[in-house]
Chains A and B, each alone.
Chain A
Amino acid sequence: MKVLGWLRGTSAILCLLSLVLLLTSGWALMAGYVPSDAEAFSSVLFARQQVPGGSGVRSVHYFLSMSLVVTGFLYLLVTYLLGKQTVDKSRWWLALTLYFLVLGMCFTGYLLPMDQNAYWGTVVRLGIMETVPVIGSDLAQMLRGGQVFNASTLPRFYALHVAVLPIFCGLLLAPLLRKVSARLGQSGPWVAWAIAGVGALALLYLLAASNMAPLELRADPTDTEYVPRPEWYFLWLFQFGKYVESVPWVESLVVPMAGLTFLFALPLMTRQGFGARCAVALAWVVVWVTLTGLAIHQDRDLEPKLPYELAMEMRANDVYKDLCLECHGAEGRGDGARSLRFDLEARDFTQPEVWQEVSETEMIRSTRDGKGKDMPGFGRQLNHEETVAVLSFMKTNFAPADTSRSND
Chain B
Amino acid sequence: MELAKVLGALLVAVGSIPTVAFWWRSASPVSQTDSWIDLGPARDIPEEGWLLQKFSVEHRNRWRQDVTEETVYLRRVGRDLTVLSSICPHARCLVRSEGEGFECRCHSSSFDADGRVLDGPAPRSLDELEWKVEKGRLKVLFQQFRPGVRDQEVLKA
Give chain B's interface residues, CB within 8 Å of chain A.
23-24, 26-30, 52, 54, 59, 64, 66, 68-71, 86, 90-97, 105-108, 120-121, 144, 146-148, 155-157
Given the complex, which residues of A lie within 8 Å of B66, measured CB to CB? 37, 150-151
The reply to whether B68 and A150 contact each other, CB–CB distance below 8 Å, is yes
The reply to whether B71 and A248 contact each other, CB–CB distance below 8 Å, is no
Q: Output the nearest chain B residue to A228 by Cβ-Cβ distance.
A: B106
Complexed CA–CA distance, A217 and B108 (Å): 24
Q: Cβ of A50 < 8 Å from any Cβ of B?
A: no
Q: Cβ of A120 < 8 Å from any Cβ of B?
A: yes
Given the complex, which residues of A lie within 8 Å of B94, measured CB to CB? 222-224, 226
Given the complex, which residues of B lie within 8 Å of A24, measured CB to CB? none
Beyond A124-B93, A227-B106, whether A222 also contacts B70 by CB under 8 A is: yes
Beyond A124-B93, A223-B94, A245-B121, whether A145 also contacts B107 by CB under 8 A is: no
The reply to whether A130 and B96 contact each other, CB–CB distance below 8 Å, is no
Q: Output the nearest chain A residue to B154 by Cβ-Cβ distance.
A: A147
**19 A-B pairs whose Cβ atoms sit less than 8 Å apart in the complex:** A123-B93, A124-B91, A124-B92, A124-B93, A127-B147, A142-B24, A146-B27, A146-B29, A147-B156, A148-B144, A148-B157, A151-B28, A151-B29, A151-B30, A151-B59, A224-B86, A227-B106, A228-B106, A242-B108
Given the complex, which residues of A lie within 8 Å of B86, measured CB to CB? 224
The reply to whether B121 and A246 contact each other, CB–CB distance below 8 Å, is yes
Q: Output the nearest chain A residue to B26 by Cβ-Cβ distance.
A: A145
Given the complex, which residues of B lie within 8 Å of A148, measured CB to CB? 28, 144, 155, 157
Q: Cβ of A379 < 8 Å from any Cβ of B?
A: no
Complexed CA–CA distance, A56 and B156 (Å): 42
Given the complex, which residues of A lie within 8 Å of B29, measured CB to CB? 145-146, 150-152
Complexed CA–CA distance, A185 and B26 (Å): 51
Q: Cβ of A225 < 8 Å from any Cβ of B?
A: yes
Given the complex, which residues of A lie within 8 Å of B97, measured CB to CB? 224
Complexed CA–CA distance, A130 and B155 (Å): 13
Given the complex, which residues of A lie within 8 Å of B106, measured CB to CB? 124, 227-228
Q: Which applies to chain B's interface (DSSP): helix, strand, loop or mixed?
A: loop
3 interchain residue pairs of minimum CB distance: A146-B28, A127-B91, A245-B121
Give chain A's interface residues, CB within 8 Å of chain B.
37, 120, 123-124, 126-128, 130-131, 137-138, 141-142, 144-148, 150-152, 156, 220-228, 241-242, 245-246, 248
Cross-chain contact of A145 among B28, B105, B144, B156 (Cβ < 8 A)? B28
The reply to whether B23 and A142 contact each other, CB–CB distance below 8 Å, is yes
Given the complex, which residues of B lie within 8 Å of A220, measured CB to CB? 69
The reply to whether B54 and A222 contact each other, CB–CB distance below 8 Å, is yes
Complexed CA–CA distance, A151 and B67 (Å): 9
Cross-chain contact of B30 among A126, A150, A226, A245 (Cβ < 8 A)? A150
Complexed CA–CA distance, A146 and B59 (Å): 13
The reply to whether B157 and A150 contact each other, CB–CB distance below 8 Å, is yes
- Give A243 Cβ to nearest chain B Cβ, in Å: 11
Q: Output the nearest chain A residue to B64 by Cβ-Cβ distance.
A: A151
Given the complex, which residues of B lie within 8 Å of A142, measured CB to CB? 23-24
Given the complex, which residues of B lie within 8 Å of A224, measured CB to CB? 52, 71, 86, 94-97
Given the complex, which residues of A lie within 8 Å of B108, measured CB to CB? 242
Complexed CA–CA distance, A227 and B146 (Å): 21
Cross-chain contact of B157 among A127, A128, A146, A222 (Cβ < 8 A)? A146
**Interface contacts beyond A148-B157, A151-B64, A152-B29: sample of 13 additional A-B pairs, CB < 8 Å, sorted by A:** A120-B93, A126-B92, A127-B91, A128-B91, A130-B147, A150-B28, A150-B59, A151-B29, A151-B66, A156-B23, A221-B69, A224-B94, A248-B121
